[in-house]
Amino acid sequence: MKLPVLLLAAIAIASFAGPPLAAALDIDPQAVELLDRLAGPSVSHPLGTDELGRDVLFRLLKGGRVSLSIGIAAAIAAAALGTAIGLAAGYLGGWTDRALMRATDALIALPLLPLLIVLAAIDLDKLGLPARLIQSDDVSLVRILALTVLVGWTTSARLVRGATLITRNRDFVRAARSLGAGTPHILWLHILPNVLGPLIVAATLSVADVILLESVLSFLGLGIQPPLASWGSMLSNAQELIATAPMLAVYPGLMIFLTVIACNLFGDALQQRLDPRQRRS
């Protein structure tokens, strides 16, 4: 449990604190130094420089900020959406339940990556979204968040629905109902706390999934677009220089790998901690 947490904390702190720190120290590692292109490791550039002479380490940290933010934000949003859907399906039952669960099953069965590629290629102009959003620098960020949330809610929906079905007829819930408690009160106070543990585990594991998905889409050129950069999109750029500067492609992938494996190990450890029945035997 300790190692993955330490690794995650190190990556997160470096990614979020590194750039402001550099700014505070009045270093501009983003500066383009064309005379110092593709340089090897040195004291001023620990991991060398990229094709525009920018510091590779600093770019990695900035990319990490984007990748991690997307991972965490999308995982939380997807868990929230899944919770709402799971609660609705489990508590209302009947046709609502059947329709929602069919949709969940279908989404799980579908080949996601090909469909996401179609969704990522959609022309936002044709959707009639406000031009201010479409032309902003962050549009690729918003788009990738929407896509990952759209496909990421199924696990938590199933979890929450299952727990709701078990809990909704337990004595304490019946007692609350007979005392006149309304549906929102019951859902929020009596049912939700019972799934919080597994839900947190699912959300932790989905941070890993989201980071992987974002990196794949960005790598294929369909995710994060310049001026923003994530680990996936950095790798995509570095691919063109693979023959001259292979390390430029190796570093971002290594960061993705380390972050994702740390998230997965942490989620797994959390699961065993919270649910002793699932302890590895």
Q: Which positions lie near other proteins, rule CB under 8 A?
A: 102, 105-106, 109-111, 113-115, 117-119, 121-123, 126-127, 208, 212, 215-216, 219-220, 232, 235, 239, 242-243, 246, 249-250, 252-254, 256-257, 260-261, 263-265, 268, 280-281
Considering beta carbons, is residue 126 or 132 the nearer one to other proteins?
A: 126
What is the closest distance, in whole angstroms, from the C-beta atom of residue 4 to other proteins in the complex? 9
Considering beta carbons, is residue 76 or 247 the nearer one to other proteins?
A: 247
Considering beta carbons, is residue 6 or 175 the nearer one to other proteins?
A: 6
Considering beta carbons, is residue 70 or 191 the nearer one to other proteins?
A: 70
User: How far apart, in Å, are the Cα atoms of 74 and each of 2, 80, 182, 199?
Assistant: 25, 10, 30, 14
What is the closest distance, in whole angstroms, from the C-beta atom of residue 236 to other proteins in the complex? 9
What is the closest distance, in whole angstroms, from the C-beta atom of residue 257 to other proteins in the complex? 5
Place of tokens 């002793």: 276
User: How far apart, in Å, are the Cα atoms of 17 and each of 14, 24, 49, 190, 256?
Assistant: 5, 10, 21, 39, 18
175 class by beta-carbon count within 10 Å (0-12 exposed, 13-18 middle, 19+ buried): exposed
Q: At what angle do helices 139-152 and 56-92 cross, to 10 degrees?
A: 40
What is the closest distance, in whole angstroms, from the C-beta atom of residue 148 to other proteins in the complex? 15
DSSP label of 55: B
What is the closest distance, in whole angstroms, from the C-beta atom of residue 125 to other proteins in the complex? 8
What is the closest distance, in whole angstroms, from the C-beta atom of residue 221 to other proteins in the complex? 8
- State the sign of the Cα–Cα–Cα–Cα dihedral 61, 67, 68, 70: positive
DSSP label of 226: T
AA letter at 198: P
Question: 20: closest CA among 60, 62, 80?
Answer: 62
φ, ψ (nearest 5 deg) of residue 55? -70, 125
What is the closest distance, in whole angstroms, from the C-beta atom of residue 278 to other proteins in the complex? 10
AA letter at 14: A
Asked if 272 contacts 258 with a C-beta cutoff of 8 angstroms, the reply is no
Which tokens go with 72?
């965490």
Considering beta carbons, is residue 72 or 176 the nearer one to other proteins?
A: 72
Cα–chain-centroid distance for residue 236?
19
Considering beta carbons, is residue 187 or 245 the nearer one to other proteins?
A: 245
Considering beta carbons, is residue 24 or 118 the nearer one to other proteins?
A: 118
